Amino acid sequence: MFSAFLIDAAYFVAAFLFLYGLKRMASPVTARSGIVVAGGGMLVAVVAAFLYGFDVSPRAEAHLGTNLFLLILALGLGTGWAWFSGKRVAMTDMPQMVALYNGMGGGAAAAIAATELLSGNALAHGVVVTVLAILGGLIGAVALSGSLIAWAKLDGRMNKTWRLAKHQYVNACLLGGALFIGAIISVMAIAGAADTPVLLIMLFFAVALALGVLLTTPIGGADMPVVISLYNAFTGLAVAFEGFVLQNPAMIIAGTVVGSAGTLLTLMMAKAMNRQVSNIIFSDFGGEDDGADGEIQGTMKSADASDAAIAMYYANKVIIVPGYGLAVAQAQHKLYEFVKLLQKQGVEVSFAIHPVAGRMPGHMNVLLAEAGVPYDIIFDLEDINEDFAQADVAIVLGANDVVNPAARTRKSSPIYGMPILNVDQARQAYVVKRGQGKGYSGVENELFFLDNTSMVYGDAQKVMVQMIEAVKSLG
Protein backbone atom coordinates (compact mmCIF):
# COMPACT_ATOMS: atom_id res chain seq x y z
CA MET A 1 0.00 0.00 0.00
CA PHE A 2 2.96 2.28 0.61
CA SER A 3 3.83 2.04 -3.08
CA ALA A 4 0.32 3.28 -3.92
CA PHE A 5 0.87 6.31 -1.71
CA LEU A 6 4.21 7.06 -3.38
CA ILE A 7 2.60 6.79 -6.80
CA ASP A 8 -0.18 9.15 -5.77
CA ALA A 9 2.32 11.65 -4.40
CA ALA A 10 4.44 11.45 -7.54
CA TYR A 11 1.39 12.05 -9.74
CA PHE A 12 0.47 15.09 -7.69
CA VAL A 13 3.97 16.51 -8.19
CA ALA A 14 3.78 15.64 -11.90
CA ALA A 15 0.39 17.33 -12.35
CA PHE A 16 1.74 20.47 -10.66
CA LEU A 17 4.87 20.48 -12.84
CA PHE A 18 2.78 20.01 -16.01
CA LEU A 19 0.57 22.98 -15.24
CA TYR A 20 3.45 25.16 -14.09
CA GLY A 21 5.53 24.14 -17.11
CA LEU A 22 2.69 24.86 -19.54
CA LYS A 23 2.22 28.23 -17.88
CA ARG A 24 5.90 29.04 -18.33
CA MET A 25 5.73 27.89 -21.94
CA ALA A 26 3.09 30.55 -22.55
CA SER A 27 5.63 33.41 -22.50
CA PRO A 28 8.60 33.74 -24.86
CA VAL A 29 10.92 34.71 -22.00
CA THR A 30 10.30 31.65 -19.85
CA ALA A 31 9.20 29.20 -22.55
CA ARG A 32 12.48 27.33 -22.68
CA SER A 33 12.40 26.54 -18.96
CA GLY A 34 8.73 25.56 -19.21
CA ILE A 35 9.37 22.43 -21.23
CA VAL A 36 12.18 21.42 -18.88
CA VAL A 37 9.83 21.78 -15.88
CA ALA A 38 7.15 19.72 -17.63
CA GLY A 39 9.79 17.17 -18.63
CA GLY A 40 10.74 16.82 -14.97
CA GLY A 41 7.10 16.05 -14.19
CA MET A 42 7.06 13.33 -16.83
CA LEU A 43 10.24 11.77 -15.44
CA VAL A 44 8.82 11.71 -11.89
CA ALA A 45 5.59 10.10 -13.10
CA VAL A 46 7.30 7.43 -15.22
CA VAL A 47 9.75 6.44 -12.47
CA ALA A 48 6.88 6.22 -9.97
CA ALA A 49 4.84 4.11 -12.39
CA PHE A 50 7.41 1.29 -12.00
CA LEU A 51 6.06 0.93 -8.45
CA TYR A 52 2.90 -0.58 -9.99
CA GLY A 53 5.01 -3.73 -10.21
CA PHE A 54 4.68 -4.18 -6.42
CA ASP A 55 0.93 -4.41 -6.55
CA VAL A 56 -0.33 -6.19 -9.67
CA SER A 57 -3.61 -7.99 -10.14
CA PRO A 58 -3.57 -11.71 -9.14
CA ARG A 59 -3.99 -12.97 -12.69
CA ALA A 60 -0.89 -11.01 -13.80
CA GLU A 61 1.38 -12.11 -10.95
CA ALA A 62 2.71 -15.13 -12.82
CA HIS A 63 3.71 -12.91 -15.75
CA LEU A 64 5.35 -10.15 -13.74
CA GLY A 65 8.91 -10.96 -14.85
CA THR A 66 7.96 -11.12 -18.52
CA ASN A 67 5.82 -8.00 -18.25
CA LEU A 68 8.59 -6.05 -16.57
CA PHE A 69 11.02 -7.10 -19.28
CA LEU A 70 8.54 -6.10 -22.00
CA LEU A 71 7.95 -2.80 -20.21
CA ILE A 72 11.62 -1.86 -20.15
CA LEU A 73 12.04 -2.97 -23.75
CA ALA A 74 9.04 -0.93 -24.94
CA LEU A 75 10.11 2.14 -22.95
CA GLY A 76 13.65 1.92 -24.29
CA LEU A 77 12.62 1.39 -27.91
CA GLY A 78 9.89 4.05 -27.89
CA THR A 79 12.01 6.65 -26.12
CA GLY A 80 15.13 5.90 -28.14
CA TRP A 81 13.45 6.02 -31.52
CA ALA A 82 11.46 9.18 -30.74
CA TRP A 83 14.47 10.94 -29.20
CA PHE A 84 16.61 10.18 -32.22
CA SER A 85 14.00 11.13 -34.81
CA GLY A 86 13.06 14.29 -32.91
CA LYS A 87 16.69 15.47 -32.77
CA ARG A 88 17.19 14.82 -36.46
CA VAL A 89 14.11 16.31 -38.05
CA ALA A 90 14.44 19.63 -39.91
CA MET A 91 12.58 22.64 -38.51
CA THR A 92 10.40 22.89 -41.63
CA ASP A 93 9.21 19.31 -40.98
CA MET A 94 8.15 19.94 -37.38
CA PRO A 95 4.39 19.93 -38.06
CA GLN A 96 4.35 16.38 -39.37
CA MET A 97 6.54 15.16 -36.50
CA VAL A 98 4.09 16.68 -34.03
CA ALA A 99 1.34 14.84 -35.92
CA LEU A 100 3.26 11.57 -35.69
CA TYR A 101 3.98 11.84 -31.96
CA ASN A 102 0.41 12.89 -31.36
CA GLY A 103 -0.88 9.84 -33.21
CA MET A 104 1.32 7.66 -31.00
CA GLY A 105 -0.27 9.17 -27.89
CA GLY A 106 -3.73 8.48 -29.31
CA GLY A 107 -2.65 4.91 -30.06
CA ALA A 108 -1.42 4.45 -26.49
CA ALA A 109 -4.78 5.65 -25.15
CA ALA A 110 -6.57 3.23 -27.50
CA ALA A 111 -4.24 0.43 -26.35
CA ILE A 112 -5.14 1.12 -22.71
CA ALA A 113 -8.82 1.01 -23.63
CA ALA A 114 -8.26 -2.30 -25.43
CA THR A 115 -6.47 -3.99 -22.51
CA GLU A 116 -9.01 -2.69 -20.00
CA LEU A 117 -11.89 -4.01 -22.10
CA LEU A 118 -10.19 -7.31 -22.92
CA SER A 119 -9.04 -8.03 -19.36
CA GLY A 120 -12.51 -7.32 -18.05
CA ASN A 121 -11.23 -4.61 -15.70
CA ALA A 122 -13.41 -1.94 -17.23
CA LEU A 123 -16.48 -4.19 -17.27
CA ALA A 124 -15.87 -5.11 -13.64
CA HIS A 125 -15.96 -1.43 -12.65
CA GLY A 126 -19.42 -0.86 -14.01
CA VAL A 127 -21.08 0.80 -16.90
CA VAL A 128 -19.75 4.37 -16.53
CA VAL A 129 -16.16 3.18 -16.59
CA THR A 130 -16.91 0.91 -19.55
CA VAL A 131 -18.54 3.73 -21.51
CA LEU A 132 -15.58 6.03 -20.80
CA ALA A 133 -13.12 3.32 -21.82
CA ILE A 134 -15.01 2.84 -25.09
CA LEU A 135 -15.28 6.58 -25.84
CA GLY A 136 -11.60 7.11 -25.01
CA GLY A 137 -10.70 4.16 -27.20
CA LEU A 138 -12.77 5.51 -30.09
CA ILE A 139 -11.29 9.01 -29.87
CA GLY A 140 -7.76 7.68 -29.36
CA ALA A 141 -8.00 5.32 -32.34
CA VAL A 142 -9.36 8.10 -34.57
CA ALA A 143 -6.50 10.36 -33.41
CA LEU A 144 -4.00 7.58 -34.18
CA SER A 145 -5.04 6.75 -37.74
CA GLY A 146 -6.03 10.35 -38.53
CA SER A 147 -2.68 11.72 -37.35
CA LEU A 148 -0.82 9.11 -39.38
CA ILE A 149 -2.66 10.24 -42.53
CA ALA A 150 -1.94 13.89 -41.63
CA TRP A 151 1.73 12.99 -41.17
CA ALA A 152 1.84 11.19 -44.54
CA LYS A 153 0.22 14.16 -46.27
CA LEU A 154 2.50 16.80 -44.76
CA ASP A 155 5.54 14.62 -45.34
CA GLY A 156 4.67 14.41 -49.03
CA ARG A 157 4.06 10.66 -48.90
CA MET A 158 0.42 11.11 -49.83
CA ASN A 159 -0.29 13.98 -52.13
CA LYS A 160 -3.80 13.39 -53.33
CA THR A 161 -6.96 14.04 -51.45
CA TRP A 162 -8.94 10.86 -51.62
CA ARG A 163 -12.64 10.53 -51.25
CA LEU A 164 -15.27 7.88 -51.75
CA ALA A 165 -18.62 8.38 -53.35
CA LYS A 166 -20.91 9.70 -50.59
CA HIS A 167 -17.87 10.10 -48.39
CA GLN A 168 -19.59 11.89 -45.51
CA TYR A 169 -22.33 9.26 -45.56
CA VAL A 170 -19.72 6.52 -45.20
CA ASN A 171 -18.10 8.42 -42.31
CA ALA A 172 -21.43 8.82 -40.57
CA CYS A 173 -22.04 5.08 -40.95
CA LEU A 174 -18.61 4.28 -39.50
CA LEU A 175 -19.15 6.60 -36.54
CA GLY A 176 -22.64 5.20 -35.99
CA GLY A 177 -21.29 1.65 -36.34
CA ALA A 178 -18.50 2.25 -33.80
CA LEU A 179 -20.95 3.78 -31.33
CA PHE A 180 -23.39 0.91 -31.89
CA ILE A 181 -20.74 -1.75 -31.24
CA GLY A 182 -19.58 0.24 -28.22
CA ALA A 183 -23.17 0.33 -26.95
CA ILE A 184 -23.45 -3.47 -27.31
CA ILE A 185 -20.24 -3.92 -25.31
CA SER A 186 -21.64 -1.59 -22.61
CA VAL A 187 -24.97 -3.41 -22.51
CA MET A 188 -23.11 -6.67 -22.04
CA ALA A 189 -21.35 -5.04 -19.10
CA ILE A 190 -24.69 -4.12 -17.52
CA ALA A 191 -26.09 -7.57 -18.18
CA GLY A 192 -22.97 -9.05 -16.58
CA ALA A 193 -21.97 -11.28 -19.48
CA ALA A 194 -19.57 -14.03 -18.43
CA ASP A 195 -17.36 -13.95 -21.51
CA THR A 196 -15.40 -10.96 -22.76
CA PRO A 197 -16.63 -10.13 -26.28
CA VAL A 198 -13.11 -10.22 -27.78
CA LEU A 199 -14.22 -10.19 -31.42
CA LEU A 200 -16.60 -7.30 -30.86
CA ILE A 201 -13.84 -5.27 -29.20
CA MET A 202 -11.50 -5.95 -32.11
CA LEU A 203 -14.19 -4.98 -34.59
CA PHE A 204 -14.85 -1.80 -32.62
CA PHE A 205 -11.22 -0.67 -32.90
CA ALA A 206 -11.03 -1.63 -36.57
CA VAL A 207 -14.05 0.55 -37.34
CA ALA A 208 -12.64 3.43 -35.25
CA LEU A 209 -9.29 3.29 -37.07
CA ALA A 210 -11.04 3.25 -40.45
CA LEU A 211 -13.05 6.30 -39.39
CA GLY A 212 -9.85 8.22 -38.56
CA VAL A 213 -8.41 7.40 -41.99
CA LEU A 214 -11.53 8.37 -43.91
CA LEU A 215 -12.03 11.57 -41.91
CA THR A 216 -8.56 12.78 -42.89
CA THR A 217 -8.04 11.64 -46.50
CA PRO A 218 -10.34 14.21 -48.13
CA ILE A 219 -8.74 17.15 -46.31
CA GLY A 220 -6.18 19.18 -48.27
CA GLY A 221 -2.69 20.05 -47.09
CA ALA A 222 -3.59 23.69 -46.40
CA ASP A 223 -6.05 22.69 -43.70
CA MET A 224 -3.83 20.02 -42.18
CA PRO A 225 -2.46 22.18 -39.30
CA VAL A 226 -5.97 22.72 -38.00
CA VAL A 227 -6.60 19.00 -38.28
CA ILE A 228 -3.41 18.13 -36.38
CA SER A 229 -4.35 20.57 -33.66
CA LEU A 230 -7.81 19.01 -33.50
CA TYR A 231 -6.37 15.50 -33.20
CA ASN A 232 -4.04 16.82 -30.50
CA ALA A 233 -7.10 17.87 -28.53
CA PHE A 234 -8.71 14.49 -29.32
CA THR A 235 -5.73 12.63 -27.88
CA GLY A 236 -5.86 14.80 -24.75
CA LEU A 237 -9.52 13.91 -24.28
CA ALA A 238 -8.86 10.20 -24.89
CA VAL A 239 -6.06 10.28 -22.30
CA ALA A 240 -8.38 11.97 -19.80
CA PHE A 241 -11.08 9.33 -20.35
CA GLU A 242 -8.62 6.46 -19.95
CA GLY A 243 -7.25 8.26 -16.89
CA PHE A 244 -10.70 8.01 -15.36
CA VAL A 245 -10.88 4.32 -16.26
CA LEU A 246 -7.53 3.71 -14.55
CA GLN A 247 -8.36 6.12 -11.68
CA ASN A 248 -5.19 7.97 -12.59
CA PRO A 249 -5.47 11.69 -11.66
CA ALA A 250 -2.30 12.72 -13.53
CA MET A 251 -3.78 11.39 -16.76
CA ILE A 252 -7.16 13.01 -16.09
CA ILE A 253 -5.67 16.43 -15.41
CA ALA A 254 -3.00 16.43 -18.12
CA GLY A 255 -5.42 14.99 -20.67
CA THR A 256 -8.20 17.47 -19.88
CA VAL A 257 -5.84 20.45 -19.92
CA VAL A 258 -4.56 19.41 -23.35
CA GLY A 259 -8.09 18.68 -24.52
CA SER A 260 -9.33 22.18 -23.73
CA ALA A 261 -6.12 23.99 -24.67
CA GLY A 262 -5.98 22.05 -27.93
CA THR A 263 -9.59 22.86 -28.74
CA LEU A 264 -8.95 26.55 -28.17
CA LEU A 265 -5.78 26.43 -30.27
CA THR A 266 -7.73 24.70 -33.06
CA LEU A 267 -10.41 27.39 -33.04
CA MET A 268 -7.77 30.15 -33.06
CA MET A 269 -6.03 28.57 -36.04
CA ALA A 270 -9.24 28.04 -37.94
CA LYS A 271 -10.25 31.65 -37.28
CA ALA A 272 -6.90 32.93 -38.53
CA MET A 273 -7.45 31.00 -41.75
CA ASN A 274 -11.04 32.21 -42.00
CA ARG A 275 -12.26 28.63 -41.94
CA GLN A 276 -14.76 26.89 -39.76
CA VAL A 277 -13.65 23.66 -38.16
CA SER A 278 -16.85 21.95 -39.28
CA ASN A 279 -16.23 23.06 -42.88
CA ILE A 280 -12.72 21.66 -42.82
CA ILE A 281 -13.85 18.29 -41.54
CA PHE A 282 -17.03 17.95 -43.56
CA SER A 283 -16.36 19.62 -46.89
CA ASP A 284 -13.62 20.28 -49.37
CA PHE A 285 -11.60 23.45 -49.66
CA GLY A 286 -13.24 26.21 -51.71
CA GLY A 287 -14.43 25.91 -55.26
CA GLU A 288 -13.04 27.83 -58.20
CA ASP A 289 -13.53 31.58 -58.24
CA ASP A 290 -16.55 31.86 -60.52
CA GLY A 291 -15.45 35.26 -61.74
CA ALA A 292 -18.66 36.90 -60.53
CA ASP A 293 -16.74 40.01 -59.43
CA GLY A 294 -15.10 40.50 -62.81
CA GLU A 295 -11.75 39.54 -64.21
CA ILE A 296 -8.55 40.80 -62.60
CA GLN A 297 -7.25 43.92 -64.37
CA GLY A 298 -3.64 44.77 -65.12
CA THR A 299 -0.51 42.84 -66.03
CA MET A 300 2.33 41.30 -64.07
CA LYS A 301 5.69 43.04 -64.21
CA SER A 302 8.94 41.36 -63.36
CA ALA A 303 12.09 42.88 -61.85
CA ASP A 304 15.64 41.71 -61.20
CA ALA A 305 16.69 40.71 -57.72
CA SER A 306 19.39 43.39 -57.76
CA ASP A 307 16.85 46.15 -58.57
CA ALA A 308 14.73 45.08 -55.62
CA ALA A 309 17.80 44.92 -53.36
CA ILE A 310 18.91 48.42 -54.29
CA ALA A 311 15.41 49.82 -53.81
CA MET A 312 15.45 48.40 -50.29
CA TYR A 313 18.97 49.64 -49.61
CA TYR A 314 17.91 53.24 -50.19
CA ALA A 315 14.57 52.92 -48.42
CA ASN A 316 13.78 54.21 -44.92
CA LYS A 317 11.33 51.53 -43.97
CA VAL A 318 11.14 47.97 -45.29
CA ILE A 319 8.63 45.32 -44.28
CA ILE A 320 9.35 41.69 -45.05
CA VAL A 321 6.53 39.18 -45.43
CA PRO A 322 7.95 35.66 -45.18
CA GLY A 323 5.96 32.59 -46.23
CA TYR A 324 6.42 28.87 -46.37
CA GLY A 325 8.20 29.13 -49.74
CA LEU A 326 11.02 30.92 -47.95
CA ALA A 327 11.41 28.09 -45.48
CA VAL A 328 11.21 25.38 -48.13
CA ALA A 329 14.05 27.11 -50.02
CA GLN A 330 15.96 27.25 -46.69
CA ALA A 331 16.55 30.93 -47.41
CA GLN A 332 15.88 32.36 -43.95
CA HIS A 333 19.58 32.48 -43.02
CA LYS A 334 20.46 34.35 -46.20
CA LEU A 335 17.49 36.62 -45.63
CA TYR A 336 18.71 37.59 -42.18
CA GLU A 337 22.19 38.22 -43.57
CA PHE A 338 20.59 40.62 -46.06
CA VAL A 339 18.51 42.23 -43.30
CA LYS A 340 21.67 42.90 -41.27
CA LEU A 341 23.23 44.66 -44.27
CA LEU A 342 20.13 46.85 -44.54
CA GLN A 343 20.16 47.57 -40.80
CA LYS A 344 23.82 48.59 -41.02
CA GLN A 345 22.75 51.14 -43.62
CA GLY A 346 20.12 52.48 -41.19
CA VAL A 347 17.08 50.99 -42.88
CA GLU A 348 14.23 50.19 -40.50
CA VAL A 349 13.41 46.56 -41.18
CA SER A 350 10.52 44.62 -39.70
CA PHE A 351 9.02 41.23 -40.35
CA ALA A 352 5.26 40.85 -40.74
CA ILE A 353 3.93 37.45 -39.84
CA HIS A 354 0.50 36.33 -40.93
CA PRO A 355 -1.20 34.05 -38.38
CA VAL A 356 -0.96 31.07 -40.73
CA ALA A 357 2.45 31.83 -42.28
CA GLY A 358 4.35 28.59 -42.51
CA ARG A 359 2.28 25.51 -41.88
CA MET A 360 0.98 26.25 -38.37
CA PRO A 361 0.42 29.45 -36.39
CA GLY A 362 3.80 30.48 -35.05
CA HIS A 363 5.67 28.09 -37.33
CA MET A 364 7.24 30.97 -39.27
CA ASN A 365 8.44 32.55 -36.01
CA VAL A 366 10.20 29.32 -35.18
CA LEU A 367 11.82 29.19 -38.61
CA LEU A 368 12.99 32.82 -38.31
CA ALA A 369 14.25 32.21 -34.78
CA GLU A 370 16.27 29.31 -36.17
CA ALA A 371 18.02 31.79 -38.48
CA GLY A 372 18.77 34.03 -35.48
CA VAL A 373 16.26 36.79 -36.24
CA PRO A 374 15.52 38.52 -32.90
CA TYR A 375 11.85 38.33 -32.05
CA ASP A 376 11.44 42.04 -31.33
CA ILE A 377 11.61 42.94 -35.04
CA ILE A 378 8.95 40.31 -35.81
CA PHE A 379 5.37 41.55 -35.68
CA ASP A 380 1.95 39.95 -35.83
CA LEU A 381 -0.61 41.00 -38.40
CA GLU A 382 -2.62 43.26 -36.10
CA ASP A 383 0.50 45.03 -34.83
CA ILE A 384 2.01 45.88 -38.20
CA ASN A 385 -0.83 46.12 -40.71
CA GLU A 386 -1.16 49.92 -40.19
CA ASP A 387 2.53 50.39 -40.96
CA PHE A 388 2.38 49.17 -44.56
CA ALA A 389 1.03 52.54 -45.69
CA GLN A 390 4.25 54.19 -44.42
CA ALA A 391 6.60 51.54 -45.81
CA ASP A 392 8.80 52.41 -48.78
CA VAL A 393 9.18 48.79 -49.76
CA ALA A 394 7.31 45.63 -48.81
CA ILE A 395 8.82 42.37 -49.97
CA VAL A 396 6.89 39.10 -50.05
CA LEU A 397 8.99 35.95 -49.96
CA GLY A 398 7.22 32.71 -50.79
CA ALA A 399 3.83 33.80 -49.51
CA ASN A 400 0.72 34.16 -51.61
CA ASP A 401 -2.81 33.85 -50.26
CA VAL A 402 -2.03 35.83 -47.10
CA VAL A 403 -1.30 38.98 -49.14
CA ASN A 404 -4.14 38.64 -51.65
CA PRO A 405 -6.36 41.77 -51.58
CA ALA A 406 -9.17 39.60 -53.01
CA ALA A 407 -9.81 38.52 -49.44
CA ARG A 408 -11.05 42.08 -48.79
CA THR A 409 -13.05 42.71 -51.93
CA ARG A 410 -14.04 39.65 -53.94
CA LYS A 411 -17.04 38.05 -52.27
CA SER A 412 -16.91 35.11 -54.69
CA SER A 413 -13.36 34.21 -53.68
CA PRO A 414 -12.85 31.19 -51.38
CA ILE A 415 -10.52 33.26 -49.23
CA TYR A 416 -12.95 36.18 -48.90
CA GLY A 417 -12.97 37.49 -45.33
CA MET A 418 -9.58 36.10 -44.34
CA PRO A 419 -7.45 38.79 -42.66
CA ILE A 420 -4.54 39.68 -44.96
CA LEU A 421 -1.35 41.71 -44.74
CA ASN A 422 -1.77 45.08 -46.48
CA VAL A 423 1.21 44.71 -48.78
CA ASP A 424 -0.71 46.49 -51.53
CA GLN A 425 -0.60 49.71 -49.47
CA ALA A 426 3.20 49.94 -49.49
CA ARG A 427 4.76 52.42 -51.91
CA GLN A 428 6.47 49.58 -53.75
CA ALA A 429 5.93 45.86 -53.39
CA TYR A 430 8.22 43.07 -54.55
CA VAL A 431 7.07 39.47 -54.66
CA VAL A 432 9.71 36.77 -54.75
CA LYS A 433 8.18 33.64 -56.24
CA ARG A 434 9.39 30.50 -57.95
CA GLY A 435 6.93 30.75 -60.82
CA GLN A 436 3.58 32.12 -61.83
CA GLY A 437 1.55 29.47 -59.99
CA LYS A 438 -1.38 30.12 -57.74
CA GLY A 439 -1.38 29.90 -53.96
CA TYR A 440 -2.38 26.97 -51.79
CA SER A 441 -6.03 27.91 -52.09
CA GLY A 442 -5.80 27.89 -55.89
CA VAL A 443 -6.82 31.53 -56.15
CA GLU A 444 -5.29 34.09 -58.53
CA ASN A 445 -3.57 36.89 -56.59
CA GLU A 446 -4.65 40.45 -57.45
CA LEU A 447 -1.61 41.90 -55.71
CA PHE A 448 0.65 40.59 -58.47
CA PHE A 449 -1.21 42.65 -61.06
CA LEU A 450 -1.04 46.01 -59.27
CA ASP A 451 0.95 48.93 -60.70
CA ASN A 452 3.26 49.18 -57.70
CA THR A 453 4.03 45.47 -57.59
CA SER A 454 6.98 43.81 -59.30
CA MET A 455 7.62 40.10 -59.44
CA VAL A 456 11.07 38.67 -58.81
CA TYR A 457 11.06 35.14 -60.16
CA GLY A 458 13.43 32.57 -58.77
CA ASP A 459 14.23 30.27 -55.88
CA ALA A 460 14.19 32.31 -52.67
CA GLN A 461 17.67 31.17 -51.67
CA LYS A 462 19.21 32.17 -55.01
CA VAL A 463 17.35 35.46 -55.04
CA MET A 464 18.66 36.30 -51.55
CA VAL A 465 22.23 35.52 -52.63
CA GLN A 466 21.82 37.87 -55.61
CA MET A 467 20.39 40.57 -53.35
CA ILE A 468 23.28 40.28 -50.90
CA GLU A 469 25.77 40.55 -53.75
CA ALA A 470 23.97 43.57 -55.21
CA VAL A 471 24.03 45.42 -51.88
CA LYS A 472 27.64 44.47 -51.12
CA SER A 473 28.77 45.78 -54.51
CA LEU A 474 27.31 49.16 -53.52
CA GLY A 475 29.69 48.96 -50.65
Partner 1 sequence: MDMSVTITGFVALYIFLLAAFAGYEIIGRVPAILHTPLMSGSNFIHGIVVVGAMWALLNAGSTLEQVIGFVGVLLGAGNAAGGYVVTERMLEMFKPTNKAPGADKE
What is the nearest approach in angstroms of partner 1 to the Cβ of residue 474?
16
Nearer Cβ to partner 1 (275/410): 275
Contact between 45 and partner 1 per CB under 8 A: yes
Spatial distance between the Cα atoms of 430 and 336, rounded to a whole number of angstroms: 17
The sign of the dihedral angle between the CA atoms of 228, 229, 234, 237 is positive
428 sits in which H/E element? strand 428-433
Are 131 and 189 a contacting pair, CB within 8 Å? no
Contact between 162 and partner 1 per CB under 8 A: no
What is the nearest approach in angstroms of partner 1 to the Cβ of residue 48?
8
Contacts of residue 342, defined as CB under 8 A and 6 or more positions apart, other chains included, come to: 312, 313, 318, 349, 471
CA distances from 161 to 157, 158, 219, 226, 255 (A): 12, 8, 6, 16, 31
Contact between 161 and partner 1 per CB under 8 A: no
Contact between 57 and partner 1 per CB under 8 A: yes
Contact between 216 and partner 1 per CB under 8 A: no
Ranges within 129-148 binding partner 1 (CB under 8 A): 144
What is the nearest approach in angstroms of partner 1 to the Cβ of residue 93?
10
Kindly tell me the number of DSSP H helices and DSSP E strands found in the chain.
18, 6
Ranges within 420-449 binding partner 1 (CB under 8 A): none
Count residues binding partner 1 (CB under 8 A).
134
Site stretch for partner 1 (CB under 8 A), options 43-51, 325-333, 391-399, 466-474 = 43-51
Ranges within 269-328 binding partner 1 (CB under 8 A): 269, 272
Spatial distance between the Cα atoms of 432 and 325, rounded to a whole number of angstroms: 9
What is the nearest approach in angstroms of partner 1 to the Cβ of residue 245?
8
Ranges within 323-342 binding partner 1 (CB under 8 A): 340
Cβ neighbour number for residue 279 with a 10 Å cutoff: 13
The one among 179, 328, 366, 465 contacting partner 1 by CB under 8 A: 366
Contact between 197 and partner 1 per CB under 8 A: no
The one among 158, 163, 221, 260 contacting partner 1 by CB under 8 A: 260
Contact between 115 and partner 1 per CB under 8 A: yes
DSSP string spanning 66-131?
Answer: HHHHHHHHHHHHHHHHHHHHHHHS-GGGHHHHHHHHHHHHHHHHHHHHHHHHHHTHHHHT-HHHHH
What is the nearest approach in angstroms of partner 1 to the Cβ of residue 338?
12
| Farthest-apart Cα atoms in the chain, separation | 86
Active site residues: 401
